[in-house]
Amino acid sequence: MEKPVVFVISDSVGETAEFVVKAALSQFIYDQEYEMHRFPYIDNKMTLKKAVQLAKDKQGIIGFTLVDPELRNYLKTESKIQHVECIDIMGPMISAMERAFSRKPRLEPGLIHQLDEDYFKRIEAIEFAVRYDDGRDPRGIQQSDIVLIGVSRTSKTPLSQYLAHKRLKVANVPIVPEVEPPSELFKANPAKCIGLKINPQKLNDIRKERLKALGLGDRAIYANMERINKELEHFQSIVEKIKCPVIDVSYKAVEETANVILTIMRK
């Protein structure tokens, strides 16, 4: 048996057509012995005409995904004239959906890859937020879209994750009086740094609840008002030095704070 020859034609990358063609080929070929030619990003009839001629010369068949009805019809007509087997992989599905949904298709090539790209950007941002959480690695400050700065229990981590789902790379830096902030923080663009301030009493309540949840007494220095005031004063000195925007998160849900941050970033 001669090696089968298949031409994959698409107005985008051509991965969808290639995947379907390979799935069909697997029903006939056991050792991957076939020849495949891919014609991606097709947007004109001249290239289609050449592809059909090549398919005829090699006695091959064509599998294609073209969303433009004019190009689809031209390819089918030209293939018929040249007696080349030509399979419209996506057209019948688009036509059926147009009838079923009573809605016109967008006819934009490559939309599925835009969706894939969006998904992978979101995953990348989530992984970034985990990697650079709580000042774990100061190198993330330079690479990030947003840097959150605040004392412990100001929702830095949940905010980082929430913003990551918006495809933003977020690093967060904890502010502790005994630990000098990383030098990278003072080299970063102040416009992408956001300070998270909080009411001392509110922070005291949050920390007491946290200690109880951990099975510890609520009198630990972590929830001591004197200690809290010291931390907040140190935080204030840091954000003043950076000259970055500051948001009061005392009585805001994570979603509210995130929306304020997004508004600041847009400006």
CATH at 25? 3.40.50
103 shares its domain with 125: no
CA atoms within 13 A on the CB side of 108: 6
- 18, containing H or E segment: helix 15-25
CA 81 to chain centre: 45
What's the full length of the chain, in residues? 267
Give the range of the structural domain holding residue 87, as residue numbers without chain letter.
5-109
Q: Binding residue per annotation — 156? A: yes
Question: Which of 50, 84, 109 is where one domain is finished?
Answer: 109
26 shares its domain with 94: yes
pLDDT at 2: 75
Cβ partners under 8 Å of residue 16, min gap 6? 10, 65, 89, 90, 112
Question: Which of 93, 109, 125 is where one domain is finished?
Answer: 109
144 shares its domain with 257: yes
47 shares its domain with 137: no
225 shares its domain with 132: yes
Q: Binding residue per annotation — 150? A: yes
153 shares its domain with 196: yes
66 shares its domain with 132: no
pLDDT at 30: 65
Max Cα separation, the chain? 87
Q: Report the number of distinct structural domains present in the chain.
A: 2
Question: Which of 58, 88, 109 is where one domain is finished?
Answer: 109
pLDDT at 12: 84
CA atoms of 245 and 59, how far apart (whole Å) = 67
Q: Is 170 within 8 Å of 159 (Cβ atoms)?
A: yes
CA atoms of 106 and 193, how far apart (whole Å) = 39
Distances (CA, A) of 40 to 4, 20, 93: 20, 15, 20
87 shares its domain with 122: no
226 shares its domain with 183: yes
pLDDT at 90: 86
CA atoms of 78 and 240, how far apart (whole Å) = 70
146 shares its domain with 182: yes
86 shares its domain with 186: no
213 shares its domain with 179: yes
Other Cβ atoms closer than 10 A to 44: 9
How confident is the prediction along the chain (267 residues), in pLDDT tens digits per residue? 578 899 999 988 788 888 888 888 888 876 567 888 989 889 899 999 999 999 999 999 999 999 888 999 999 999 999 999 999 998 888 888 889 889 888 777 666 656 667 778 888 999 999 999 999 999 999 999 999 999 999 999 999 999 999 999 999 999 999 999 999 999 999 999 999 999 999 999 999 998 988 888 767 789 899 999 999 999 999 999 999 999 999 999 999 999 999 999 988
Q: Binding residue per annotation — 153? A: yes
